Amino acid sequence: MNMQRLFWLGVVSALAASPALGQSRGATKFGVYADDDGTLVLSPAVTVSATPAEGLAVGASYLADIVSASSTDLVSAATKHFEERRDDVSGNLSYTTRGYFTVGGAFDYSHETDYRSYTPSVHVGQEILDRNVTLTAAYGLSLNTVGRSGDPNFSEAMTNHSVTLGASQLLGPDTVLRLTWQGQFARGFQASVYRYASVYRGSFLVQQTPEVLPDARDRHAAAVAVRHHLGGPLYAHVDYRLYRDDWGLTGHTGGTQLFYEITRDVFLRLGERVHWQTGADFYERRYSTRRRYMTSDKELSPLWSSTTGLKLDYAWRSGAGAFLSGLGLNAKVDFIHVDYSEFDPLDQLNAWVGEVGTSVTF
């Protein structure tokens, strides 16, 4: 309930700070994730933002994850089923000068029964060369407290530093390019307290031990994205991301989207995203001896995944002088297939993701 109060305080503050001359936006999103591994997640989200003065923007958002799961991970942890809720509240503030320099900050608070996270962040940006190039930099510090359900005495800390650098460039009247690099540097407890790794002799299970992961993880991801107007109502988007961390995990992620502008207000988007990754150095399908680091996390195993999606987006805008300046409605559906080549409990996963969103602009 406190989270809801915080959120509504943010809503009231954002709207109160917005006099009649500013623009205010409110948006809702409701997401549903369901997979054939027994996990169902409902994710309602609300966002409000306002521009109370020239160059100044404030915003607040609330997101909840209502999880009902009995996945393979949990079975391996001898927990047959659980339901949980995560609440996430955030607020942000930014100011852009007439010279197109932006400075801002945000704060995010996330809470669930066995996990708590505080994440302050700052960002700067500068548009240069007649606004043909946008350079951005951001830093975030995430302070996490890991707990264990039913064990009030268990508490571990994990800190994550995140640095993001980005540059976007107009390549022409119909093409835009973006380069992004992000480094994440995590220190502290990073294992799941509910996950166990198993040691086998031949086909016999001889020992189960709590997952043990390194206390430090440095992650680097670099991405390039290009969007291009193909002509007429067609637009194309292509992106690629290279990921590497010091746990030995390397990932390649590529995506493409095709936009069809049905009318000026409505577009249809068809997308395909493919991800392939190696496993972490210490990941093994079956451990034959006890190791310093052991995991049964399928996200640390070699895998590839495919995500195919369709989105329909409608945005109406009124003319100048109207009190209500815009309305938006969108819906999307994604189908995700994940193939685990070296994860015995599960060789593949199929999931559906559905979302419905609305927005209103005053």
Partner 1 sequence: MRLIFLAVLASGGSAWGYSSPSLFDTGPSDDTTGGAGGIYYTGSPRFQGQDCSGCHRGERAVSVRVSSVPEDLLRQPYRPGAVYHIEVDLGRDLLGPRTCGDAHPGDACNLDLFALEIDTAAGRPAGRLCPLPFEGDACPEQLGTPTILTRDGTAVIANSLRFGADGQPAYRDGETARDFYWRAPDHDVGPLHVWIGAVDGDGGQSSPDKPSDYDGDATGVFRLLICGPSGCADEAAATEGGCTSTPGPVGWTALLGLVVLGLGRRRPRLARRLVVLVGLVLVSGLASGCAVVKPWQRGTLARRCMALEGDPEEATLEQHVFAYREGAAGAHGGGGGGCGCN
What's the min distance (Å) between Cβ of 295 and partner 1?
A: 10
Q: Which is nearer to partner 1, 158 or 249 (CB)?
A: 249
What's the min distance (Å) between Cβ of 153 and partner 1?
A: 27
Q: C-alpha angle 337/210/216, rounded to 5°?
A: 80
What's the min distance (Å) between Cβ of 126 and partner 1?
A: 7
What's the min distance (Å) between Cβ of 152 and partner 1?
A: 26
What's the min distance (Å) between Cβ of 9 and partner 1?
A: 20
3-class SS of residue 255: strand
What's the min distance (Å) between Cβ of 106 and partner 1?
A: 12
DSSP H helix total and E strand total for the chain: 2, 18
Report residue 150 as tokens.
């039913």
Q: Which is nearer to partner 1, 287 or 343 (CB)?
A: 343
Q: Which is nearer to partner 1, 25 or 199 (CB)?
A: 25
Q: Which is nearer to partner 1, 205 or 255 (CB)?
A: 255
Q: Residue 338: which H helix or E strand, with range?
A: strand 326-340
Half-sphere exposure of 268 (CA within 13 A, CB side): 6
Decide if 11 contacts 39 (C-beta within 8 A): no
Q: Position of tokens 């994940």?
A: 338
SS3 content of the chain, % helix, strand, coil (to 5): 5, 70, 25
CB neighbour list of residue 200: distance below 8 Å, 6 or more residues apart: 206, 286, 287, 288
Q: Which is nearer to partner 1, 152 or 173 (CB)?
A: 173
Q: Which is nearer to partner 1, 153 or 240 (CB)?
A: 240
